Amino acid sequence: MLMDKWQRIKQQIPMRIIKSGIAVALAFVTMPLFISGTQFYASIGALRTMRESIAGSIQIIIQQLIANFVGFAFAAFFGFIFGINIISVSFGIMALFLVIKYAKLGDSYLMAGVTLMSIMLLATDDTSLIQRGFDRFISTGYGMIIAFIVNITIFRPKFSNDIEMILTMISEKIDRWFASGSKKEQGTIFNQLSESTDQLESKIGLIRQDMRTKIATRNDKRLQHKIFATIMNSTRQELRIIKALGVFERDEYGSLYTLIHSLFVIEHDIIIDIFAMESYRHYWELIIHDTKNEIYRSMQDHLIYTHPRFNDTVALMHALTIYFDYLSTMMTYVRSGEGEACEWTQSISLPEIEAAEEQDK
């Protein structure tokens, strides 16, 4: 009887909520026993570190360490150079955000800004500024350690979100490849992409059965949404690459195209497992419809009319054909195999392409 009640509670209240409360309390109560510092900062570190997966906790720990260090460094610099006042805080925030943006330090804006303000606005002199900076860094670090220990010891997550983390890394690397102008850097990123894809393929077989079991419970609706959003972000980044393939020689991007297509297949398999639910069909209809329109606009407004090399355009069309096949499969799945669901994939060749083919012959 008690076990049944406990299972119902677990389904209605996500474990992250319970463990967050435990971690905050432990960080606040135990900190004076081990180190001197500010218990409030320790509680903040614990609260931000608690995530639904161990991998998520590790990721946020890294972000917090970066944010605290950068925020501390900027607070010290602007405090010593310009003094401790609201003007130096304002310029410090602007400079801090610019550095985070162009150094691509990830999602560290808010935490770094809060660190800078808490150090500068509460400090009374230069010595106090340094002391408060170290205090925040050490106290927050203690809270992060407590939260991580709680997450791995109390009802440890069975599903570590490995797929989500790998897809996030793939998405970031594809974005870097797209923005890079160096062939050497693109080659390095491509090798990293290949390694991540291999990791993704090896993980799927191991955790697929666990996913099927976990996603069947109401407790994992949020997990479904998180992975869904991550896959969509990854797919959008890959689509950007495919749309840009026309600006490269065929032998330069052939292997990259093969890699990206393999990612589509992998993501398709993941989605089939995770989202075999009526409630997600509408999402897929909207996403596939928007993607179709985006591809057509790109071809009509830029690639088809302005690209100087016909062979590259044909190669691009081949890539898009494969991608439409992928979307067609998803639409068929979404609509339970109805034939009319894929009518828009039956003809993707534009008149300009057909005319160019005749001229080439």
User: Minimum mean pLDDT among 20-29, 187-196, 234-243: which range?
Assistant: 234-243
Least Cα distance to 48 among 147, 161, 114 occurs for 147
14-31 average pLDDT score: 89
**SS3 for the chain, per residue?**
CHHHHHHHHHHHCCHHHHHHHHHHHHHHHHHHHHCCCCHHHHHHHHHHHCCCCHHHHHHHHHHHHHHHHHHHHHHHHHHHHHCCCHHHHHHHHHHHHHHHHHCCCCCCHHHHHHHHHHHHHHCCCHHHHHHHHHHHHHHHHHHHHHHHHHHHHCCCCCCCCHHHHHHHHHHHHHHHHHHCCCHHHHHHHHHHHHHHHHHHHHHHHHHHHHHHHHCCCHHHHHHHHHHHHHHHHHHHHHHHHHHHHHHCCHHHHHHHHHHHHHHHHHHHHHHHHHCCCHHHHHHHHHHHHHHHHHHHHHHHHHHHHHCCCHHHHHHHHHHHHHHHHHHHHHHHHHCCCCHHHHHHHCCCCCHHHHHHHHHHC
**Banded pLDDT at 333 (limits 50, 70, 90):** very low
Predicted pLDDT of residue 102: 79
**Banded pLDDT at 9 (limits 50, 70, 90):** low
| Residue type (1 letter), 92 | G
Q: Which of 189 and 262 is assigned the larger pLDDT?
A: 189
Examine the pLDDT at 235 and tell me if it is beyond 70.
Answer: no
Examine the pLDDT at 274 and tell me if it is beyond 70.
Answer: no
Q: Which residues contact 109 (CB under 8 A, 6 or more apart)?
A: 97, 100
- The two structure tokens encoding residue 93: 């925030």
**pLDDT tens per residue across span 278-327:** 444 555 555 555 555 554 454 444 444 344 443 444 444 444 454 555 44
**pLDDT tens per residue across span 60-80:** 888 888 889 999 999 999 988
What residue ranges do the domains of the chain occupy? 2-153, 162-360
Least Cα distance to 177 among 169, 189, 168 occurs for 189
16-38 average pLDDT score: 90
Predicted pLDDT of residue 124: 72
Global model pTM greater than 0.85: no
How far apart are alpha carbons 67 and 60 in whole angstroms? 10
Q: Which of 45 and 270 is assigned the larger pLDDT?
A: 45
Q: Say what the alpha-carbon torsion angle 272, 168, 258, 190 is, to the nearest 10 degrees.
A: -170
Cα–chain center distance at 248: 27
Predicted pLDDT of residue 312: 45
Predicted pLDDT of residue 251: 42
Predicted pLDDT of residue 181: 63
Examine the pLDDT at 81 and tell me if it is beyond 70.
Answer: yes
Predicted pLDDT of residue 23: 93
